[in-house]
Structure 1
């Protein structure tokens, strides 16, 4: 499996996401790269001597090295131990990620989210661009996400695009299989169950015939609000990870537009994986 790219800004949340990503990599039996983007955008109007940039990159590298040693020192488990590389680069997060991805392909990119900054991260222009331009999954890890085994993955679907949803699920299956996790297909509806019954039957029939993975289940939750319905499902069904297919318009506006952004960010405590369409 391709390696994971673990992003950090050295905050508590950022470093927790790195630990989560490393924990995930052990189960997936793949390697990791730690990355820090030294973003000078906030000091754009200031004149910095050339050596100052070198100093910032050097300090960033030292912090990444310490983080690498911490992961190695605290990994007492037997079995696979991911190889850890690291890079620090000057530039905006999006530009740094794209620069690294031009040289190496990754199975997934992992980033942390401050509880108060989750919405801001998703709505900033560079973050929108990152999600829109990614060709691999993006995993956003809340600060309080537990470093526990992933046994149940919920995949949110609205049944509007069977083909795309099925393709995303087929991509998800190897990861679930590697970890021995169940996949829970989740649909939130507002009570119009008769309207979705046909789509539901067609979708589940095709999954049953083609997925070749016996641990796929289905749950339908009635709720007026999609975000609260997903939160309810994740809590009641003991979900370890929530997965959504990213559609450049529908997904972003439904799940992370307006008030939905803050509500999902505050209430959902499990990592969110965004799979590009």
Structure 2
């Protein structure tokens, strides 16, 4: 891991994300790229050029001042940092920075339970998650001693999601994380028999590892009324540090997480959530 992007708005929530990103940067000797999106209104750009220039300069200087305050935090000591201040109309444009700067991970802060309403449905965070080609780590609260020892990776284990599974496992391998794979079986139209589930998982793992079985990739089959409750309950049971989910770009979360599942997981879980795009 060489470069970590942290979108900042200088709020308490982006400071929480920055502190976690700083710890990761220290561990991996990585560089932090801090992005502040001015979000200037169209009204500014309908003025004459002189006014436009003066106002843009004002906002740029203000952002620079606030960057200096952020970078003065004790946890930022000794970390290499690059700053980007640009005007963006849409959070989806963050992926342009991800590609241009060759970003390996995006770390974003988010509000508490109420602020996470719509994390995967219509919010700025959701827009980043849907379009970002790098993994996106969402931090909900301050974590001065951030570490990931146990992760819950939830999936439907359809063969089409092998690529994102391997991407997630590679990431966790870098951090030496113990990964618990889970499948949630529900009493509705998605219900499958034990034989069907086991056959599906066996096929998935066979494709993922070219026919070579891996004991560490065993899958815990959970029975619950909803995916989110199944995942969250299991995460609490094993004292997990993070919940990991696959995404499918513009279609949102993978088929397994259609509807408001992603939102509910984020709203109920105080744990960090990391997503991997297919």
TM norm structure 2: 0.81
**Corresponding residue number in structure 2 for 1:264:** 265
Q: CA deviation at 1:36?
A: 1.1
Q: 1:83 to 1:177 in 2, by over 3 A?
A: same
List aligned pairs for 1:90-105, cutoff 5 A. Answer: 90-94=87-91, 97-101=94-98, 103-105=100-102
Deviation at 1:262, TM superposition (A): 4.4
Structure 2 Cα separation of the partners of residues 212 and 185 of structure 1: 15
In the alignment, structure 2 segments of 5+ residues that lack a partner are: none
Deviation at 1:196, TM superposition (A): 0.8
- 1:167-199 Cα deviation digits (max 9, x unpaired): 223223343233221121111112643331211
1:145–1:271 contact (8 Å) kept in structure 2: no
For residues 92 and 99 of structure 1, the distance between their equivalents in structure 2, rounded to whole angstroms, comes to 13
Query: Does structure 1 conserve the Cα–Cα contact (< 8 Å) formed by 2:164 and 2:276?
Result: yes
Partner in structure 2 of residue 230 of structure 1: 231
CA contact (8 A) 2:253 2:262 kept: no
Q: 1:145·1:270 contact (CA, 8 Å) conserved in 2?
A: no
- Residue in 1 that maps onto 2:122: 124
Alpha carbons of 1:172 and 1:213: their partners in 2 closer, same or farther (altered >3 Å)? farther
**Alpha-carbon deviation of 1:273?**
1.5
Unaligned runs of 5+ in 1: none
- TM-score of the two chains, using structure 1 as the length reference: 0.81
Cα distance change of structure 1 residues 95 and 217 upon mapping to structure 2, 3 Å threshold: closer
Report if the CA contact (8 A) 1:242-1:272 is conserved: yes
Partner of residue 88 from structure 1, selected from 85, 90, 104: 85
Q: Calculate the aligned-residue CA RMSD, in Å.
A: 3.2
- Displacement after TM superposition at 1:12 (Å): 0.8
| Residue in 2 that maps onto 1:68 | 71
Deviation at 1:154, TM superposition (A): 1.8
